[in-house]
């Protein structure tokens, strides 16, 4: 009898309507960020925009964590690990993906960015000793095929022109993957909201500093839509989405939540077509299908 009760509770947790709603909000918010960031680049430079939004978002998350009575203290032995993982997972993603959008469309960046779980599976082999199973090898191959379709679909000359953006997007995905694997190797034992606040803050601080020094952004250059974009990136991307993500993880199995984030590139591609009039043709759809297929295989393995 107790086992059947536990089974029912586990099933209810997996099918938690609130958890699924929170996951949908997270995926929607992160997906819409791609076209919003792409538009913002027409008014403000990438490092300053993403770095400053991250710092403000981290401060807001820290206040929310305190309101939830989560401890913000960092154990002394954990500082170096926290800094390294933050620079990779947040700093690398924020910087490289922002730069990638200078050459790529929002939909292209979204497709390349979702390849993160595949690189996690690949890097877990040498670092964690998790062998690259046949299923994961096929997942990597399928995802690379999707990237190849995206890169080569418009001809060689177009691919060469976009090569810096492709390299930056893949570098950002690899940074997140490496940070994820290192987190598994060197666990960071902190409350989730506090950990997110520290990671976003530590990861974005040097990016914002470099951006302010090199790019010298001008507040006067921002239109009302530009200010709204900055507000969205700060309040929605860095605050609301992270709060909803951790709340969803409390109510759903990790595998379900991870597979649910596959909605992010789909929303990014569709939103870019609707908001920025970016092309949505056979090339984009095939690349999206291949990449999503590879990621789904990697997650299920």
Task: Return d(Cα 117, Cα 100) in angstroms, integer.
Answer: 19
User: Furthest-apart CA pair in the chain: how many Å?
Assistant: 67
Kindly state whether residue 265 falls inside one of the protein's structural domains. Answer: yes
Task: Return d(Cα 34, Cα 263) in angstroms, integer.
Answer: 13
| CA nearest to 70, candidates 243, 246, 195 | 195
Grouping H, G, I as helix, E, B as strand and the rest as coil, residue 117 is: helix
Kindly state whether residue 231 falls inside one of the protein's structural domains. Answer: yes
Q: DSSP secondary-structure letter at 239?
A: I
pTM assigned to the model: 0.82
Q: Take residue 168 and report the two structure tokens written for it.
A: 């930056």
Whether 233 and 53 have beta carbons less than 8 Å apart is answered as yes
- Residue by residue, pLDDT tens for the chain (301 residues) are 444 445 545 544 445 788 888 888 988 999 899 999 999 999 999 999 999 999 999 999 999 999 988 889 988 888 999 999 999 999 999 999 999 999 998 888 888 887 777 788 778 778 877 776 777 677 777 777 776 776 665 544 556 788 899 899 999 999 988 988 888 777 788 888 898 899 999 999 999 999 999 998 888 989 999 999 999 999 999 999 888 888 887 787 766 666 667 788 888 888 888 999 887 777 778 877 877 777 677 666 5
Alpha-carbon torsion (7, 20, 143, 46), positive or negative: negative
In terms of C-beta distances under 8 Å and separation of at least 24 residues, what long-range contacts does 159-163 make, across chains too? 161/103, 162/103, 162/104, 162/108, 163/103
Kindly state whether residue 4 falls inside one of the protein's structural domains. Answer: no
Quick one: pLDDT at residue 151? 64
Whether 110 and 260 have beta carbons less than 8 Å apart is answered as no
Kindly state whether residue 138 falls inside one of the protein's structural domains. Answer: yes
Give the DSSP per-residue string, 118-163.
Answer: HHHHHHHHHHH-----HHHHHHHHHHHHHHHHHHHTT-HHHHHHHH
Count of H-run helices and E-run strands, the chain: 15, 0
Domain that holds residue 135: 28-300
Quick one: pLDDT at residue 1? 42
Over its C-alpha atoms, the chain yields an Rg (Å, rounded) of: 19
Kindly state whether residue 286 falls inside one of the protein's structural domains. Answer: yes
Query: What are the E-state strand segments in the chain?
Result: none
Give the burial string for 31-58 (b: 16+ CB within 10 Å, else e): bbbbbbbbbbbebbbbbbbbbbbbbbbb
Task: Return d(Cα 158, Cα 181) in angstroms, integer.
Answer: 34
Kindly state whether residue 11 falls inside one of the protein's structural domains. Answer: no
Kindly state whether residue 159 falls inside one of the protein's structural domains. Answer: yes
Task: Return d(Cα 140, Cα 138) in angstroms, integer.
Answer: 5
H or E stretch covering 174? helix 156-185
Q: Take residue 192 and report the two structure tokens written for it.
A: 């989730």
Quick one: pLDDT at residue 2? 47
Kindly state whether residue 1 falls inside one of the protein's structural domains. Answer: no
Grouping H, G, I as helix, E, B as strand and the rest as coil, residue 186 is: coil
Q: Which residues contact 233 (CB under 8 A, 6 or more apart)?
A: 33, 36, 37, 40, 49, 50, 53, 57
Q: How many domains does the chain have?
A: 1
């Amino acid at each position: 009898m107790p086992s059947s009760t536990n089974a029912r509770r586990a099933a209810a947790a997996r099918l938690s309507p609130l958890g699924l709603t929170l996951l949908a909000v997270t995926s929607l918010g992160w997906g819409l960020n791609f076209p919003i960031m792409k538009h913002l680049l027409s008014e403000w430079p990438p490092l300053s925009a993403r770095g400053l939004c991250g710092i403000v978002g981290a401060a807001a998350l820290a206040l929310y964590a305190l309101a939830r009575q989560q401890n913000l203290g960092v154990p002394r032995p954990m500082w170096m690990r926290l800094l390294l993982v933050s620079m990779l997972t947040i700093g690398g993603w924020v910087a490289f993906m922002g730069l990638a959008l200078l050459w790529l469309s929002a939909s292209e960046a979204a497709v390349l960015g979702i390849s993160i779980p595949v690189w996690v599976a690949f890097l877990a082999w040498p670092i964690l000793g998790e062998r690259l199973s046949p299923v994961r090898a096929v997942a990597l191959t399928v995802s690379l095929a999707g990237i190849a379709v995206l890169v080569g679909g418009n001809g060689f000359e177009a691919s060469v022109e976009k090569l810096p953006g492709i390299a930056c997007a893949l570098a950002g995905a690899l940074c997140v993957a490496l940070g994820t694997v290192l987190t598994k190797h060197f666990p960071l034992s902190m409350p989730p909201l506090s950990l997110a606040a520290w990671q976003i803050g530590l990861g974005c601080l040097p990016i914002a500093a470099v951006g302010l020094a090199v790019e010298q952004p001008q507040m006067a250059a921002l239109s009302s839509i530009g200010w709204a974009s900055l507000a969205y990136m700060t309040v929605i991307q860095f605050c609301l989405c992270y709060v909803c993500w951790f709340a969803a993880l409390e109510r759903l199995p990790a595998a379900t939540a991870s597979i649910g984030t596959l909605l992010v590139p789909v929303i990014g591609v569709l939103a870019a077509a609707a908001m920025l009039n970016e092309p949505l043709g056979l090339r984009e759809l095939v690349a999206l299908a291949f990449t999503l297929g590879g990621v789904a295989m990697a997650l299920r393995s």
